A and B are shown apart, each in its own frame.
Chain A
């Protein structure tokens, strides 16, 4: 199996989050510093008035209405609906028949943390109770993380080599680097990578049980930060080898110039407090890209606004850039933490920051952290960057840093 260190480029993007659908709505709200967090109207939960969430402002029926090709009778989860919407957005930039022509030489590397939990949690008690004779057991097949992957392939009549990754909050960042490796080893000739997750009571109460949720809008890297806001969404990127993209005259959005997946090997849910894991990941991604720290013009930080993450990530950034970090911000206060979508979503934010020439604000920051007094971008700032970094750090110490460069 030959491995060629060819440049991997991004040639199309698709996105949906609480900020809206598509690039323009996202860029506009990021630039104007307009977050979209609300008390949930769609997620049915007792905590509807307890926590602000980045909920996509469309019911399942409204999402389905944007997808006219869907079989109206088919069982479909909110996770899959979000993924389909983001994927459809991506198809505005690349021809579906062109993608179909690759058959199994197209790799679809998707990510999800809880699959169709948002629906299955409502009916699980029926599924396990034999007295519920009419229980619709087909739903159990949709609990699977691969459900949205399979749904993307089926709905858009693609026959790709499929893979689904689940590494908590870094899932779709991992999907991107797995797709890139598949291109470099020749296992694929074109790839679509990303992820999607819908809000569920499962994740909401799960994070709540870890005392990780801020009832108000989250405050990344702030001294008074108090936990995260959850969100939902989906984001996908088309990846190609640069020579292939150039040959077909594709518009190149950015170059994926380096990446690293490394593990904290420290604690099941908390990062190493000195930031050693985050530091190692960012440094290795830079090495992989053949760049030095000073080449990076902007970092889209993981910045969940949990006590542990931000202290560790802040220290790592401070160390790697010798106390003079580049412009950096967490955009989690705009969208909430979209879990399996976050890696791909924030990869797009990083690319757009570089393209559009602005660093989005790190909202709700007022006082420095005691542990590490780094100061993020406080309001939208002009940016001239040739290279940007996007961090995604997850449970299980699963860290990913991606480096994107101008085309």
Chain B
């Protein structure tokens, strides 16, 4: 069955890199030594009123700013839907509430932290700020939260009249306690390498932690599109074989051969225990297709695939991939109009495959 294409008219990223309104996109690359990739703060006050911003958590500021900038780049005042995915939502606020319950013995509690810990808080705020009384949805399902938002956007476009502009995004923040507890669960490398050298340390267990926010404006017409998400596939509890099958299905469904791919972007995160998920892509596929990983730039978190999609769109629009991301092959400098496969996994077993097409009209 053919999928509803998502034509992309704008895409924004607040990430550990200089990805947001940068004079020169991601120049220089930012590297982190401690295994925690914190996002670069944006000029939040450009997007949020001084009164509102005072008590607002950082993840709320990041989310609202990335969303407003995305709408502005697409020339959209109020979107026709707001759909997001998040793995942990306002986790810092949630931690605050849990600790305050104990510290004050269920005494006084800060209502702001409680409200901001509600997963759909950023959505509500974006709606308020854009006067968007439209459809508004938030998915919270581990490492496929963003993909669920994409699938919902497909369904919404399929059922709706043409001309809609959907604001779709993802957000996750890094907290010290989240990293500490996940560290005790073996998520992270014990001796984290420099983040940009992550792929040279893929022979040990663990990865590095990251965070970020991405927003996209999608619609169903190819005109003015930066790229097109032609197909989406989501696997729960995936193994190498199911990933291999799904990738083949997605390509044949789009009438493409492996050689039609200009680039494969993987979510390889340096954890030796998880890299087998990409085995088929790395071994059985034509070696002429260049392969890169986007995780050295953003680190690992539940909605990192949002950064992967954003980066894929940048690549299709002229951004040159640095050698730090290379897994195999020489990346051509001009991938405009090409096809890019973005394959990501999260530690808990979710895998997603996105087929991006640079010649937007070829999605039809």
- List B contacts of A73 (CB < 8 A): none
Q: Is A93 an interface residue (CB 8 A)?
A: no
Of B121, B180, B236, most A-chain CB atoms within 10 Å: B236
Stretch of B132-140, B221-229, B276-284 on the interface side: B132-140
The reply to whether B236 and A162 form a contact with Cβ atoms under 8 Å apart is yes
With A166-B138, A186-B1 given, is the CB distance from A145 to B133 under 8 Å? no
Stretch of B33-41, B100-108, B208-216, B332-340 on the interface side: B100-108
Q: Is A46 an interface residue (CB 8 A)?
A: yes
- List A contacts of B4 (CB < 8 A): 1, 185
Closest partner residue, chain B, to A211 (CB atom): B111
The reply to whether A181 and B156 form a contact with Cβ atoms under 8 Å apart is yes
- List B contacts of A184 (CB < 8 A): 155, 159
**Interchain CA distance A348-B282 in the complex, whole Å:** 50
**Interchain CA distance A46-B123 in the complex, whole Å:** 33
The reply to whether A209 and B110 form a contact with Cβ atoms under 8 Å apart is yes
- List A contacts of B180 (CB < 8 A): 128, 130
Contact bitstring B85-98, A, C-beta under 8 A = 1, else 0? 00101000001011
Closest partner residue, chain B, to A201 (CB atom): B101
Q: Is B148 an interface residue (CB 8 A)?
A: yes
Contact bitstring B266-304, A, C-beta under 8 A = 1, else 0? 000000000000000000000000000000000000000
- A165: which of B98, B140, B142, B159 is its contact (CB, 8 Å)? B140
Q: Is B194 an interface residue (CB 8 A)?
A: no
The reply to whether A266 and B98 form a contact with Cβ atoms under 8 Å apart is no
Closest-CB distance, A133 to chain B (whole angstroms): 10
Q: Is A256 an interface residue (CB 8 A)?
A: no
Closest-CB distance, A2 to chain B (whole angstroms): 7
The reply to whether B111 and A167 form a contact with Cβ atoms under 8 Å apart is no
Chain A residues numbered 131-162 whose CB sits less than 8 Å from any CB in chain B: 135, 137-138, 140-141, 144-146, 149, 153, 159, 161-162
**Interchain CA distance A374-B348 in the complex, whole Å:** 50
Closest partner residue, chain B, to A396 (CB atom): B124
The reply to whether B121 and A396 form a contact with Cβ atoms under 8 Å apart is yes
**Interchain CA distance A202-B106 in the complex, whole Å:** 9
Closest partner residue, chain A, to B105 (CB atom): A46
Q: Is B234 an interface residue (CB 8 A)?
A: yes
The reply to whether A1 and B348 form a contact with Cβ atoms under 8 Å apart is no
Closest-CB distance, A93 to chain B (whole angstroms): 26
With A187-B155, A263-B136, A268-B121 given, is the CB distance from A210 to B98 under 8 Å? no
**Interchain CA distance A127-B181 in the complex, whole Å:** 6
With A185-B154, A187-B155, A210-B111 given, is the CB distance from A178 to B137 under 8 Å? yes
**Interchain CA distance A127-B99 in the complex, whole Å:** 12
**Interchain CA distance A182-B155 in the complex, whole Å:** 7
**Interchain CA distance A168-B106 in the complex, whole Å:** 22
Q: Is A261 an interface residue (CB 8 A)?
A: yes
Give how many A residues have a beta carbon under 8 Å from the other chain's beta carbons.
Answer: 66
With A128-B180, A396-B118 given, is the CB distance from A167 to B185 under 8 Å? no
The reply to whether B137 and A268 form a contact with Cβ atoms under 8 Å apart is no
**Interchain CA distance A242-B130 in the complex, whole Å:** 38
The reply to whether A395 and B1 form a contact with Cβ atoms under 8 Å apart is no
- B106: which of A47, A167, A262 is its contact (CB, 8 Å)? A47
- List B contacts of A395 (CB < 8 A): 115, 118, 120-121, 124
Chain A residues numbered 261-304 whose CB sits less than 8 Å from any CB in chain B: 261-269, 277, 280
- List A contacts of B110 (CB < 8 A): 209
Q: Is B109 an interface residue (CB 8 A)?
A: yes
Q: Is A164 an interface residue (CB 8 A)?
A: yes
Q: Is A206 an interface residue (CB 8 A)?
A: yes
The reply to whether A185 and B158 form a contact with Cβ atoms under 8 Å apart is yes
The reply to whether B2 and A1 form a contact with Cβ atoms under 8 Å apart is yes
Q: Is A229 an interface residue (CB 8 A)?
A: no
The reply to whether A145 and B137 form a contact with Cβ atoms under 8 Å apart is no
The reply to whether B124 and A263 form a contact with Cβ atoms under 8 Å apart is yes
Q: Is A208 an interface residue (CB 8 A)?
A: yes
Closest-CB distance, B140 to chain A (whole angstroms): 4
**Interchain CA distance A267-B115 in the complex, whole Å:** 11
- List B contacts of A264 (CB < 8 A): 127-128, 133
- List B contacts of A261 (CB < 8 A): 135-137
**Interchain CA distance A394-B131 in the complex, whole Å:** 17
- A1: which of B1, B101, B124, B181 is its contact (CB, 8 Å)? B1
The reply to whether B109 and A206 form a contact with Cβ atoms under 8 Å apart is yes
The reply to whether B159 and A145 form a contact with Cβ atoms under 8 Å apart is no
Chain A residues numbered 93-144 whose CB sits less than 8 Å from any CB in chain B: 112-113, 117, 120-121, 124-125, 127-128, 130, 135, 137-138, 140-141, 144
The reply to whether A164 and B102 form a contact with Cβ atoms under 8 Å apart is no
The reply to whether B1 and A396 form a contact with Cβ atoms under 8 Å apart is no
The reply to whether B99 and A167 form a contact with Cβ atoms under 8 Å apart is no
**Interchain CA distance A137-B180 in the complex, whole Å:** 10
- List B contacts of A146 (CB < 8 A): 140-142
Closest-CB distance, B111 to chain A (whole angstroms): 4
**Interchain CA distance A46-B104 in the complex, whole Å:** 11
Q: Is A397 an interface residue (CB 8 A)?
A: yes
The reply to whether A263 and B155 form a contact with Cβ atoms under 8 Å apart is no
Closest partner residue, chain A, to B108 (CB atom): A209
Closest-CB distance, B99 to chain A (whole angstroms): 7
The reply to whether B133 and A396 form a contact with Cβ atoms under 8 Å apart is no
The reply to whether B185 and A165 form a contact with Cβ atoms under 8 Å apart is no
The reply to whether A266 and B154 form a contact with Cβ atoms under 8 Å apart is no
The reply to whether A164 and B141 form a contact with Cβ atoms under 8 Å apart is yes
**Interchain CA distance A397-B132 in the complex, whole Å:** 11
Closest-CB distance, A155 to chain B (whole angstroms): 14
The reply to whether B128 and A268 form a contact with Cβ atoms under 8 Å apart is yes
The reply to whether B101 and A205 form a contact with Cβ atoms under 8 Å apart is yes
The reply to whether A263 and B184 form a contact with Cβ atoms under 8 Å apart is no
- List B contacts of A91 (CB < 8 A): none
The reply to whether B234 and A265 form a contact with Cβ atoms under 8 Å apart is no
Q: Is A174 an interface residue (CB 8 A)?
A: yes
The reply to whether A1 and B3 form a contact with Cβ atoms under 8 Å apart is yes
Residue numbers of A with Cβ under 8 A of B are 1-3, 45-47, 112-113, 117, 120-121, 124-125, 127-128, 130, 135, 137-138, 140-141, 144-146, 149, 153, 159, 161-168, 174, 178, 181-182, 184-187, 201-202, 205-206, 208-210, 261-269, 277, 280, 394-398
26 example contacts (A-B, Cβ-Cβ < 8 A) are as follows A1-B158, A2-B158, A128-B177, A128-B181, A137-B181, A141-B185, A161-B234, A161-B236, A162-B141, A163-B139, A163-B151, A165-B137, A166-B120, A184-B155, A185-B155, A187-B151, A201-B106, A205-B114, A208-B109, A261-B135, A263-B123, A263-B127, A394-B120, A396-B123, A396-B124, A396-B127
The 5 closest A-B pairs by CB, nearest first: A396-B124, A206-B114, A1-B4, A166-B119, A209-B109
Q: A162-B141, A181-B152 given; name 17 further pairs at CB < 8 Å.
A: A1-B154, A121-B98, A127-B181, A127-B184, A146-B140, A162-B236, A163-B141, A164-B139, A165-B139, A167-B137, A201-B106, A202-B98, A205-B97, A206-B109, A263-B134, A394-B120, A396-B124
